[in-house]
Each structure stands twice: as structure tokens, then as C-alpha cells.
Amino acid sequence: MKIDVVVDTKGMACPMPIVKAKKALDGLASGQVMEVLSTDKGSVNDFRAWVKQTNHELLGHEEDNGVYKFYVKKI
């Protein structure tokens, strides 16, 4: 998977990961992929809801040593 931009929101609490992700996604072209790094456990549900609401595509997410990684494709 080609990542076009990485947004590091580690250490930030809700809603900042979503706010930062939205700002980064606004700067991407359709079809580009953003990776968001977060340490906020609540971000898993937040990202699912946000992607559904904005009609972008959540390609997947994973957790690695307390860091949540989200892959979002701009539609």
C-alpha cells in the first residue's frame, strides 16, 4: 500500500486525532491514502464513525505496541 501522508497524533486525546486527520485529508487528492498514528484507545471507534460519516474508505487499522494505525483512502 502506498502511503501519501502520515499524520502523527500520538499523545493527543479525542477529538484531536480526527481534527488533524481531517485537515491532512483535505489536502489530498481523490484516491490518495493517509496513515494516522494515534495512542488514544477511543480513536478506533472515532475513526470508524468519522470515515462512515465522511464517505471516505477505511482501508484498515492495526495496533502495534500501543500505537493505533489507521489507513484512510480519500474518495
- The domain tally of the chain equals 1
Residue 14 has a pLDDT of 87
Query: Catalytic: which of 4, 5, 12, 14?
Result: 14
Tell me the residue length of the chain.
Answer: 75
Helices 16-26 + 43-54 axis angle, to 10: 40
Compute and round to an integer the Cα radius of gyration of the chain. 11
Tens of pLDDT along the chain (75 residues) come to: 899 999 999 999 989 999 999 999 999 999 999 999 999 999 999 999 999 999 999 999 999 999 999 999 999
User: What pLDDT is attached to residue 61?
Assistant: 95
Give this prediction's pTM.
Answer: 0.94
Residue located via cell numbers 468519522: 50
User: Which residues form the domain of 24?
Assistant: 5-73
- The CATH number assigned to the domain holding 22 equals 3.30.110.40
- Whether 14 is a known active-site residue: answer yes
